Amino acid sequence: MKITEVRVIVTCPGRNYVVVKVMTDEPGLYGVGDATLNGRELAVAEALEKHIAPLLIGRDPDRVEDTWQYLFRGTYWRGGPVLMTALAGIDMALWDIKGKRANLPLYSLLGGKTREGALCYTHAGGKDNKAVEDSVREKLERGFKVVRAQVSVPKAIGTYGVGGAREAASATWGSGGGTATAPGEALPHEETNWEPTNYLKVVPKLFDHLRSTLGEEVELLHDVHERLNPIQAARLAKELEPYHLFFLEDPLRPEHKESFRLVRSHSTTPIAMGELFHTKYECLPLFTEQLIDYIRCDLGHIGGITEAKKIAALAEPYQIQTAWHGPGDIAPMTHSANVHVDVSIPNFGVQEMVFFSEQVQEGAAGVVRVMSAGVATPLGEAAA
């Protein structure tokens, strides 16, 4: 069998997805993958069309690992968000072809089920503590057991994570404020008047409020979104200890791994990190020193399923669990890939999920119905 064509489709609705379709010489057999990189979609599309697609014509689509290495090392200048996202799209499509040929679900090819479904968390947010509480209650009513809570920071316009349902559904980050933008027109998200002092004041108060009104039963987490310096992050993790977070997400910037030692040495709040990483190599220092508890790489930005399996395996002996990135700014195929990996590895922790619009679900029929409230199952089956 041979790859005959690689189609790159940049499409909406709501935001720009980059979909890769790898065609084969077997009639009707093709694979699809997601190569969406929020705000730089066209760079990935060009990399795929101009540089990667020509390399794949005539290759055997069964050789997933070999093709992965060929593309990763073949550039010499390797890694980075653009190339690793392009590679993810190809990797997912090749696994899709393999599954279709074998007539088996991906989780089966990855070793079979370790669990019946993937515990999911979703996003709650609001302008003040009461609004966040209401938002969390609404998610609990929908069946969620784990909820991420974000609150507006006084004087900071456009605080991360408090845009509510619309933001979660359309993932407006970097896409020009919630409205669909033409490819290449996306503007970076800007948080006006970002003030860490105010932020550090309001977040412990939010969780104090949530624990006193919702009790200890609900699992709560919070996303810092890489906006603190090391000593601020250590202070926040320490001050949040009494509220028993499921984890504190992305407390620090991704570049300087040593900073995590400071946070770790000051707090027992579990730490999650990794959505801005692109390879297993970046995860290693955090694993070997056990500086985090959850690794949350984005399958769409680390070269896909092949690399995710390795990252999970590297994390396992260090007792680190997975919490793959699952935002609205990647296409539903990555969410599907997330869940197949989730249910086939031993050290799955939790899965982030968002709700896709009806238009997106229509356009990606068969891949987004994996989501049901609170638990995701690989093929949209009911969890046992």
Active site residue ranges: 160, 225
Query: What is the smallest separation between the CB atom of 345 and Co ion, expressed in angstroms?
Result: 21
In the DSSP assignment, the letter for residue 126 is E
Question: What is the C-alpha to C-alpha distance for residues 76 and 373, in angstroms, rounded to an integer?
Answer: 44
**Tokens 């050789």 label which residue?**
63
167 binds Co ion (CB under 5 A): no
Burial of 247: CB neighbours in 10 Å, binned 0-12, 13-18, 19+: buried
Of the candidates 99, 108, 118, 84, the one whose C-alpha atom is nearest the C-alpha of residue 304 is 84
Nearer to Co ion, 53 or 263 (CB): 263
Backbone dihedral region of 168: left (phi > 0), alpha (psi from -120 to 50 degrees) or beta? alpha
Query: What is the smallest separation between the CB atom of 23 and Co ion, expressed in angstroms?
Result: 35
Of the candidates 116, 84, 92, the one whose C-alpha atom is nearest the C-alpha of residue 21 is 92
Nearer to Co ion, 223 or 239 (CB): 223
Nearer to Co ion, 177 or 254 (CB): 254
183 contacts: CB under 8 Å, gap ≥ 6: 10, 16, 41, 42, 45
How many residues interact with Co ion (rule CB under 5 A)?
A: 3
Question: What is the C-alpha to C-alpha distance for residues 100 and 113, in angstroms, rounded to an integer?
Answer: 18
In this structure, what is the dihedral angle of CA atoms 312, 315, 319, 325, given to the nearest 10 degrees? -60
* Measured CA distances, 190 to 19, 39, 175, 236, 316 (Å): 27, 13, 11, 23, 37
250 binds Co ion (CB under 5 A): yes
Stretch that binds Co ion, among 58-66, 97-105, 223-231, 278-286 (CB under 5 A): 223-231
Query: What is the smallest separation between the CB atom of 8 and Co ion, expressed in angstroms?
Result: 27
Query: What is the smallest separation between the CB atom of 259 and Co ion, expressed in angstroms?
Result: 17
- Residue 144 near residue 118, CB atoms below 8 Å: no
Of the candidates 331, 167, 146, the one whose C-alpha atom is nearest the C-alpha of residue 249 is 146
CA 369 to chain centre: 17
Stretch that binds Co ion, among 31-39, 60-68, 204-212, 247-255 (CB under 5 A): 247-255
Query: What is the smallest separation between the CB atom of 160 and Co ion, expressed in angstroms?
Result: 9
Nearer to Co ion, 173 or 243 (CB): 173
Query: What is the smallest separation between the CB atom of 260 and Co ion, expressed in angstroms?
Result: 15
Residue 138 φ/ψ, nearest 5 degrees:
-60, -40
Stretch that binds Co ion, among 2-10, 84-92, 95-103, 220-228 (CB under 5 A): 220-228
Nearer to Co ion, 96 or 249 (CB): 249
The single residue among 91, 96, 133, 223 that binds Co ion, judged by CB under 5 A, is 223
329 binds Co ion (CB under 5 A): no
Stretch that binds Co ion, among 243-251, 315-323, 360-368, 374-382 (CB under 5 A): 243-251
Rg (CA), the chain: 20
Nearer to Co ion, 250 or 307 (CB): 250
Stretch that binds Co ion, among 83-91, 115-123, 191-199, 246-254 (CB under 5 A): 246-254
Binding footprint of Co ion on the chain (CB under 5 A): 223, 249-250
